[in-house]
Structure 1
Amino acid sequence: MPRHTRLYSSLLLLTGTALGAASPAQAEFVKDSKASLELRNFYFNRDFRQDNAPQAKAEEWAQGFLLRYESGFTEGSVGVGVDALGLLGVKLDSSPDRSNTGLLKRDRETGRAQDEYGELGLTAKLRASKSVLKVGTLLPKLPVVQYNDSRLLPQTFQGGHLNSMELAGLTFDAGQLKEVNQRDSSDYEDMTIANGGARGITFRRGTTSDAFNFAGASYKWNDSLTTGYHYGELDEFYKQHYFSAVHLLPLGDKQSFKSDLRFARSTDEGTSNVDNKAFGAMFTYALGGHALGLGYQSMSGDTGFAYINGTDPFLVNYVQIGDFANKDEKSWQARYDYNFASLGIPGLTFMTRYLSGDNVDRGATLSDGKEWERNTDIAYVFQEGALKNFGIKWRNATVRSNFTNDIDENRLILSYVVPLW
């Protein structure tokens, strides 16, 4: 039996067993359960425009299947439940000279994209009052660690995560991650730090970590203001304190002004030289279907920003390709969004933005680094009829830099989510 058939057979068997075993006392376990299948078709093309590039372009096409199941909880003071995540990626087009897009798993020896790859993730969960503990496969989305879902299949982690909302307005999170499965892999491994670009981060060769500890809280003061503090520690690499504040100011009919402020302090922990202060601010004025945003981001200290390799850094200037988080980099962003629902076309959206960064420390003998990136997204989700929930998105990016790759990139993503129950 093919591996992907076994993968989904196991998940369906698990679901059927849970449903069949549920007694009247566990009615909420079944009643509150839900399942969906997402079909994700992804074409990725990245052209490297600089002279003497080691690879002319990366271009692949793949089909993804994401089967999600979430149970309810058994009745009682402590409820028990289970979640399951079945992932399958299938190659539609690739070749050795065009691989390494992040869509498909590659053979370690030949570099060729494999025909298929997948994962079955299980998560046990306990609920007491307004607190939930999850152990197993996790998709964390916190300021100090955010899983990456920008390709065919999402990045996943193994670990434990406690989320508590016992006090009104206060959300508390704590836990530990032990291993990571990257977005183009089916193998769990220890974690390491992102150190590409001109971050200036160094660490002892071969060092990895099997422990990322995190804790933090956010408090919603009212409908307009939310503040937060989170702590993350990647053992052997870095410690990080993250402060955030989001304020939404209504300005009248269909108008608002949003302020998003972020500050992180990162220091070394064990074998690295991490020393970074990251400040970011994004201000967005919205009027009807229009939204105009201006952002600024500043890096200071002996290195660039620190985060787990493969994850999405929680930075205002982290965009389609770049994060503008190199040593001493200063960057700004101008962004415009439009929702065509204002013109009577719900489901159609448009976004464009331009970012420019400079003052990157490339060493005493080199000039300061500079880079810019331009992004455009156009997306449409069918609102009714036979194609309801079918989405089409085109993403375009251009990057130019004097210290890293020059890139022209296009992504075409077709997605369809089918609720199973």
Structure 2
Amino acid sequence: MPTPRRAQLLALAIATVTGSPLAMAGQADSEGFIEDGHLDFLTRNLYWNHDRKDQLNDRREWGQGFRLDYNSGYTQGTLGFGIDASAYALIKLDGGNGYSGEAGVLVPDGRGSAREASSAGAAVKVRLSETELKYGNNLRPYNPVFAAADARLVPGTATGLWLTSSEISGLSAEAAHLTAAKDFNSTNGSDDFYAAYAGVSSNSVDFIGGSYAVSDQLSFSLYGSEYEDIWRQYYGNANYTYPINDSQSLNFDLNIYRTNEQGKALAGDLGVTAWSLAGAYSIGAHTFKLTYQKIDGDAPFDYLGLGPGSYHDSIYLANSSQLVDFNGPNEKSYGVFYNLDFAGYGVPGLTFGVRYIKGSDVDASDIPANSAYTWYADGSSEEHWERDFDIQYVVQSGKAKDLSLRLRQATHRIGNDASDSSSDQIRLIVEYPYSFF
């Protein structure tokens, strides 16, 4: 049950986003529960090879995942009611010989990894105008303070209440009270939420926030969250695109987080400010980007895990990468990115990206004694870098339309292996989505 304070938070959010005098266009256009329903199927094959250079076991897993999503329409009337339901399954193709359960791709079973695993979830939903409230165990919020990742065979999900609204033109708002988690390598939907780097857990997460598009060129985002007995975290973003001409543009993206300890402070004293600034120049099919990221505080910038040892996507900093996040205490990092869209050369659906990031000046010498990050103390003054390649092709037509093939390769090297390890990683992902109706 939500505490009185959390109940007030959700009530305030509902009152705010449903109080608009705009006409109830969204619900008024409903064709019905069955008529507006969608049944979608996704099959994903994922090979994951993580070659660690520190004499520890490598992490190698290969599996096949399946996801079936049914999203109903809404009943007609002032209030519309509906349901969302999903079924997930995965099959182990490889992961033995000391590799099982290490990469988070397959589901551990106590003896390694299960040959197959499945789970299901559902949520009921109600809509008034352009405002929707969901309750269930199959929620997949994705925002700067709570982003359940979909980077393995099946996505992470959460249980609770989730409110979204777009009553005001240009404004997308949301709020949630979440009480349980299911990780992407688990079938248990009653897990705790985690601070990923600290390894401590929380019974509940609350968040509220949204994004406002001032124009096609300028937008702002503000979010706040509370991970019970761990932290309160605040996020802001400003994004601006300056169109030079029809084929050239400049983009500037500023992200900033502030994290403070909360309640029992299970991760210890925090007081961390993390920010990044990215500037990108696009010309035709090419995009060039420079980034700078800084962590101010004697603890690392930490974010969401849905299970012990897992890392999700609630880090919207520019230099968060495939292998590392460049988020150590007091760390600063610089990045260079290049992306190419081959559609400009007559091959639509083919894209390529490469990036190089270097981090330095990690300083954990003043890390608090009660911190869950004391293992970082040996990482003072360390330097490291990461180089990533990403190439993807999506079939544009024919019977295999929307079939995608993606290869991601990353190399990370660190000077003293104090807080992380040097490693190479390859991910090969083959996806095929199909919509029944």
TM category (shorter chain) comes to 0.7 to 0.9
Structure 2: tracts of 5 or more residues without a match: 1-29, 306-310, 367-376
1:121 corresponds to which letter in structure 2? G
SS in 2 for 1:97: coil
1:20 corresponds to which residue? Answer: none
Give the Å deviation of 1:314. Answer: 2.0
1:49 corresponds to which residue? Answer: 53
> Are residues 1:210 and 2:203 paired?
yes
1:373 corresponds to which residue? Answer: 386
Does structure 1 retain, via aligned residues, the 8 Å contact 2:46–2:428?
A: yes
Deviations 1:146-183 (A, max 9, x none): 11111111111111111111122222211111111111
Does structure 2 retain, via aligned residues, the 8 Å contact 1:237–1:274?
A: no
Of the candidates 104, 107, 110, which is equivalent to residue 105 of structure 1? 107
Distance in 2 between residues matched to 1:167 and 1:42, nearest whole Å: 40
Does structure 2 retain, via aligned residues, the 8 Å contact 1:96–1:113?
A: no
Matches of residues 361-400 of structure 1 in structure 2 within 5 Å? 361-363=363-365, 367-400=380-413
SS in 1 for 2:201: coil
2:434 corresponds to which letter in structure 1? V
Give the Å deviation of 1:54. Answer: 2.6
Give the Å deviation of 1:140. Answer: 0.8
Distance in 2 between residues matched to 1:395 and 1:281, nearest whole Å: 24
1:58 corresponds to which letter in structure 2? R
1:115 corresponds to which residue? Answer: 115
Give the Å deviation of 1:69. Answer: 1.2
> Are residues 1:405 and 2:408 paired?
no
Give the Å deviation of 1:318. Answer: 1.2
Distance in 2 between residues matched to 1:28 and 1:249, nearest whole Å: 42
Structure 1: tracts of 5 or more residues without a match: 1-25, 196-200
1:21 corresponds to which residue? Answer: none
Give the Å deviation of 1:27. Answer: 4.7
Does structure 2 retain, via aligned residues, the 8 Å contact 1:275–1:304?
A: no
2:350 corresponds to which residue? Answer: 348
Does structure 2 retain, via aligned residues, the 8 Å contact 1:146–1:314?
A: no
Does structure 2 retain, via aligned residues, the 8 Å contact 1:238–1:306?
A: no
2:33 corresponds to which letter in structure 1? F
1:168 corresponds to which residue? Answer: 169
SS in 2 for 1:35: strand
Distance in 1 between residues matched to 2:172 and 2:59, nearest whole Å: 42
1:29 corresponds to which residue? Answer: 33
Deviations 1:8-28 (A, max 9, x none): xxxxxxxxxxxxxxxxxx952
Does structure 2 retain, via aligned residues, the 8 Å contact 1:71–1:81?
A: yes
2:227 corresponds to which letter in structure 1? L
Give the Å deviation of 1:362. Answer: 4.3
> Structure 1 length as normaliser, TM-score?
0.88
> Are residues 1:285 and 2:273 paired?
no
1:264 corresponds to which letter in structure 2? Y
Distance in 1 between residues matched to 2:205 and 2:360, nearest whole Å: 32
Does structure 1 retain, via aligned residues, the 8 Å contact 2:298–2:363?
A: no
Deviations 1:58-93 (A, max 9, x none): 111110001111111110111001111111110011
Distance in 1 between residues matched to 2:243 and 2:227, nearest whole Å: 39
1:418 corresponds to which residue? Answer: 434
Does structure 1 retain, via aligned residues, the 8 Å contact 2:298–2:364?
A: no
SS in 2 for 1:337: strand
Distance in 2 between residues matched to 1:301 and 1:193, nearest whole Å: 17
Deviations 1:115-145 (A, max 9, x none): 1112211011110011011111111111111
1:19 corresponds to which residue? Answer: none
Distance in 2 between residues matched to 1:98 and 1:373, nearest whole Å: 23
Give the Å deviation of 1:217. Answer: 2.5
Query: Between Structure 1 and Structure 2, how many residues are aligned?
Result: 383
Give the Å deviation of 1:306. Answer: 2.5
Give RMSD over aligned pairs. 1.7
1:94 corresponds to which residue? Answer: 95
Does structure 2 retain, via aligned residues, the 8 Å contact 1:210–1:235?
A: yes
Does structure 2 retain, via aligned residues, the 8 Å contact 1:46–1:407?
A: yes
Distance in 2 between residues matched to 1:410 and 1:166, nearest whole Å: 43
Deviations 1:238-264 (A, max 9, x none): 001111111111110211111111111
1:289 corresponds to which letter in structure 2? A
> Are residues 1:61 and 2:82 paired?
no
Give the Å deviation of 1:96. Answer: 4.4
Distance in 1 between residues matched to 2:326 and 2:404, nearest whole Å: 30
